[in-house]
């Protein structure tokens, strides 16, 4: 049983690493991040600051695609909130995080990070996550094998 939990945990960890593994920009702080989340959620329901999410690149577009209606709405709402944050967090965002995250976004905005599946009765379902040079593909056969190994270990 313990080994089966480890196998499932490892599979979850690998799946979680599938999206945007090259994004390594440090947040400017909790207040700034909360303001971004609040502003982003008004534009895009699945807005996230989590680089592992398949919605991350679209979320970054709100703050990095200058001149668009989403950019203007995001910056207006988030900017008003950011003024309530500690000055050191504001400086970290304007002097580092904004530049680094948008530089990364512009280099990766066309990357794919999605999940495609077929119906549950098919052995050919495929999950695909692609971001930059990273590509993960697990077929239904692998999933069936993992379930079989787990069943044997129980």
Three-state SS at 127:
strand
- Verdict on whether the full-model pTM lies above 0.85: no
Report the pLDDT value the prediction gives residue 9, as an integer from 0 to 100.
38
Task: Report the pLDDT averaged over residues 114-133.
Answer: 40
Residue 144 reports pLDDT greater than 70: no
What sign for the dihedral angle of Cα 24, 30, 32, 36? positive
Report the pLDDT value the prediction gives residue 113, as an integer from 0 to 100.
72
Q: Nearest 5°: phi and psi at 126?
A: -135, 135
Number of neighbours of residue 12 by Cβ within 10 angstroms? 10
Report the pLDDT value the prediction gives residue 20, as an integer from 0 to 100.
84
Report the pLDDT value the prediction gives residue 79, as an integer from 0 to 100.
96
């Amino acid at each position: 049983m313990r080994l089966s939990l480890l196998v499932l945990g490892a599979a979850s960890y690998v799946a979680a690493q599938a999206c945007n593994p090259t994004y390594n920009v440090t947040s400017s702080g909790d207040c700034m991040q909360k303001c971004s989340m609040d502003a982003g959620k008004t534009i895009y329901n699945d807005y996230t600051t989590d680089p592992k999410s398949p919605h991350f690149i679209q979320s970054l577009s709100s703050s990095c695609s200058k001149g668009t209606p989403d950019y203007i709405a995001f910056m207006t709402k988030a900017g008003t909130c950011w003024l309530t944050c500690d000055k050191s967090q504001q400086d970290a965002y304007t002097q580092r995080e904004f530049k680094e995250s948008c530089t990364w976004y512009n280099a990766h905005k066309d990357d794919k990070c999605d999940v495609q599946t077929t119906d549950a009765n098919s052995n050919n379902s495929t999950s695909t996550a692609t971001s930059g040079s990273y590509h993960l593909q697990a077929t239904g056969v692998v999933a069936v094998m993992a379930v079989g190994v787990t069943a044997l270990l129980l």
